[in-house]
Amino acid sequence: MSRPLDLAQLLGDGSPVLGLAEAFRARDHQLYLVGGSVRDAWLHRAHEDLDFATDATPDETKAIVRSRADNVWLQGEAFGTVGVEIEGLRMEITTFRTERYQPASRHPDVSFASDIETDLSRRDFTINAMAVRLPEKEAVDPFAGVKDLSAKLIKTPLDPKVSFTDDPLRMLRAFRFASQLDFKIDKTTLAAIEELRDEIKTVSAERIRDELSKLMTGKAPARALEMAEASGLTQHFLPELSSLKLEQDPVHRHKDVFQHTLAVVERTDPELDLRLAALLHDIGKPKTRKIDAQGVSFHHHEVVGAEMATERLRSLRFKNEIVDSVSEVIRLHHRFHTYRLGWSDSAVRRYVRDSGPLMPTLNALVRADCTTRNAAKAKELALRMDELEDRIADLAQREELDRIRPDLDGRQVMEHLKVEPGPIVGDALAFLLELRLEEGPLGEAEAYRRLDQWAKSRGS
């Protein structure tokens, strides 16, 4: 379970970590707590697994931990990593190494190293290139990672061009950490990203997806996205973002859709599907933008945007559930604004039916989508959403809104009309569903009467 890391407690006398370190020392091997574990302990952030580096080979590590570990897993053994669980602590122990990614590969080419400094030098950023020597508990910080943590700065241990050539995904990872930690990016590092941005094309879609997901659920995604777009990096996996920088219309002065999008993202809770919907909710606007005497319009941008979002998320290999939910929320997000004159019972039923389990996400996006500086307008929209949610709650007490269906089922329709399964049954159920949405529950007797009227009008 993820928990804030406390080094004093973690490395206290009798702790399983010190016991493990002493076991390595007894076999004349080194052991260091490294990387994200040290960074997050310094920041008092939660961290699930503890990461260690050692001069021991995977076979030697397995021999050392065998009698101590409650569980051992070896999925990463080919890359020098042995996973263990001791007294509830999950640990990954990796042989000193350097790594480099080949184009489009999801796995690195690994070379084992002989010392901790070399291992740390090939890590992504200085804040992840710190270690604690065990069991002595001595800090190892050859690249001033603590200084950069204090300065809230993301910087590579070596020349950034070397780091990004080893693994071009690190360019996107810089923005991911900027979002998660609310850090700045070193100017030299940022300049290298701008120079090498085309190299991101060699990275697999799955690896880009994973980093983008972490960026989107960070605490400062807007600024990170703005920097990533300015660097040109997003052109290669999210070109729709730059397209939102619509040219300002000098007459009607429509608001900047790019900045609006960033503001909407920042106003949402850090839930991946919600944040992705916020990021992509207006990507249909550039294709639907029209300027006429009435002003600027974006008719059906939500429909176009939903299709574009589906295509983009699929290209990034997001799971079908994410693709479907995000695109549907985008398709529906403008529905709320079509009911400016109030919500009839029929409109509420249709809103609930169409949004289904996505309604909390949809409502959250609609609320976040109001970024106006006009306090009166913002208050009006908030009150309208409050009204809708109150209407849904009120109607739900009187009707089964979470299970809106026709008053009759297919079997009842077939028996009453004396027909076999076929299109007529589907048409009859669609007719009855429309009645249910428009008028609420009818009851069986009334439903049968209406069904007879419908069948007669069709000549059935």
DSSP structure string for 315-333: HTT--HHHHHHHHHHHHHT
pLDDT at 238 (0 to 100): 97
Instruction: Give pLDDT tens digits for 109-127.
Output: 666 777 999 999 999 999 9
pLDDT at 360 (0 to 100): 92
pLDDT at 391 (0 to 100): 79
* pLDDT digit string (tens) for the chain, length 460 residues: 455 667 777 777 788 899 999 999 999 999 999 989 899 988 988 777 899 999 999 999 999 998 888 999 998 898 889 999 999 889 999 999 876 666 656 666 666 777 999 999 999 999 999 999 999 999 999 999 999 999 999 999 999 999 999 999 999 999 999 999 999 999 999 999 999 999 999 999 999 999 999 999 999 999 999 999 999 999 999 999 999 987 555 444 556 889 999 999 999 999 999 999 999 999 999 888 877 766 776 778 999 999 999 999 999 999 999 999 999 999 999 888 776 656 777 788 888 888 888 999 999 999 998 887 777 877 878 888 888 888 778 777 665 656 677 878 888 888 888 888 888 888 888 888 878 777 777 888 888 888 888 888 887 5
Cα distance between residue 258 and residue 243, in whole Å? 8
3-class DSSP assignment, residue 348: helix
Distances (CA, A) of 358 to 144, 235, 362: 46, 30, 6
Residues 57/65, Cβ–Cβ less than 8 Å:
no
Which strands form 50-54's sheet, in the order they lie side by side?
71-73, 81-86, 89-95, 50-54, 31-34, 131-134, 138-140
Cα distance between residue 194 and residue 226, in whole Å? 13
Which regions of 195-281 does DSSP assign to beta strands (E)? none
| Among candidate residues 64, 65, 59, 84, the one with its CA nearest the CA of residue 73 | 84
pLDDT at 48 (0 to 100): 75
Cα distance between residue 173 and residue 154, in whole Å? 10
Find out whether the peptide bond into 421 is cis, omega within 30 degrees of 0: no
pLDDT at 252 (0 to 100): 45
Cα distance between residue 192 and residue 142, in whole Å? 22
pLDDT at 251 (0 to 100): 47
What own/partner pairs with CB < 8 Å and gap ≥ 24 does 340-345 have?
340/384, 343/387, 343/388, 343/391, 345/395, 345/440
3-class DSSP assignment, residue 334: coil
Q: Which residues of 236-252 are buried (b: 16+ CB within 10 A; e: fewer)?
A: bbbebbebbebeeeeee
The residues that bridge with 132 in the sheet, in sequence order, are 33, 139
Please count the other Cβ atoms lying within 10 Å of the Cβ belonging to residue 160. Answer: 24
pLDDT at 129 (0 to 100): 96
pLDDT at 1 (0 to 100): 40
pLDDT at 413 (0 to 100): 81
Enter the pTM of the model: 0.82
